[in-house]
Amino acid sequence: MTREQLLERLVAEAAARYRPAGLFAFFFARGKLRGDPVFAALLARGLIDDRATLLDLGCGQGLLYAWLETALACHGRGEWHEGWPAPPGLKGYRGIDQSAREVARASVALGARATVERGDIRTADYRSADVIVMLDVLHYLDPPNQDRILERVRAALSPAGTLLLRVGDAGAGFGFGVGQLIDRLARFCRGHGAGRLYCRTLEEWSSALERAGFASFPTPMSAGTPFANVLIVAMPR
């Protein structure tokens, strides 16, 4: 299959899992999975190891798990892109989100195969994991909480583990401003009010990660969008 054919298949099948969770859940899943380059990049770059235990902090409606499980099913049927590595078969997936609505949608769509809990990532017990993912979450929390969470993530990760952190680069100018605007609009539409966002430049994120005990490797992650997002792959030092 070409990359484009596979992506269409993955988006359609992963989004279909959300039909029982309602129209919003379905259309949101379809739009986000189609428009956000991070999901394809995680597979194309083989960033999640096979048999990993994955902790998804601020998991929303659990799109990451739906995506990975769909990828595994497609690969099992021989529907795959030859330039990509085989997708990971997770040993376990645990998502945590503070929103009861997001957790309810995730629970309906993902069923008993995944564990999705309602909780605050500032205080939740992370236990241990091989891969910890935070996609577009930390900017909702103030810098002291961001730093504490990075330290706790470092302590929860296995020695050869990986943190996958997606953030906006506050030093990136116009694209960053567009991302902020969309983020505020999405928050407002979901009934969370205007809310304050706490953003950092890429250099500030790298320093925060270093202080928490990580070596970090950033890659631009907003191709095809007007945003200035970066995926940081961080490894315990």
Ligand X SMILES: C[S@@+](CC[C@H](N)C(=O)[O-])C[C@H]1O[C@@H](n2cnc3c(N)ncnc32)[C@H](O)[C@@H]1O
Query: Which chain residues interact with ligand X by CB under 6 A?
Result: 58-60, 63, 96-99, 102, 120-122, 135-137, 140-141
84's CB contacts (< 8 A; 6+ apart) are 3, 6, 43, 44, 46
Q: Cα–Cα distance between 151 and 223 in angstroms, integer?
A: 30
State the burial class of residue 100 (Cβ atoms within 10 Å of its Cβ: 0-12, 13-18, 19+): exposed
Cβ nearer to ligand X, comparing 13 with 97? 97
Cβ nearer to ligand X, comparing 85 with 184? 184
> CB count, 10 Å around CB of 186?
12
Smallest separation, CB 13 to ligand X (Å): 17
Closest-by-Cβ residue to ligand X is: 60
Q: Are strands 157-168 and 229-236 parallel, antiparallel or unpaired?
A: antiparallel
Cβ nearer to ligand X, comparing 80 with 164? 164
Q: Cα–Cα distance between 100 and 120 in angstroms, integer?
A: 11
Cβ nearer to ligand X, comparing 69 with 97? 97
Smallest separation, CB 5 to ligand X (Å): 24
Cβ nearer to ligand X, comparing 77 with 127? 127
Q: Cα–Cα distance between 149 and 155 in angstroms, integer?
A: 10
The amino acid at residue 2 is: T
Q: Are strands 129-135 and 92-97 parallel, antiparallel or unpaired?
A: unpaired
Q: Cα–Cα distance between 113 and 134 in angstroms, integer?
A: 20
Q: Are strands 214-220 and 129-135 parallel, antiparallel or unpaired?
A: unpaired
Smallest separation, CB 77 to ligand X (Å): 25
Smallest separation, CB 78 to ligand X (Å): 28
For 107-204, list the strands marked E by DSSP.
Answer: 115-118, 129-135, 157-168
Smallest separation, CB 187 to ligand X (Å): 8
Smallest separation, CB 237 to ligand X (Å): 25
Smallest separation, CB 168 to ligand X (Å): 11
Cβ nearer to ligand X, comparing 98 with 225? 98
Cβ nearer to ligand X, comparing 13 with 102? 102
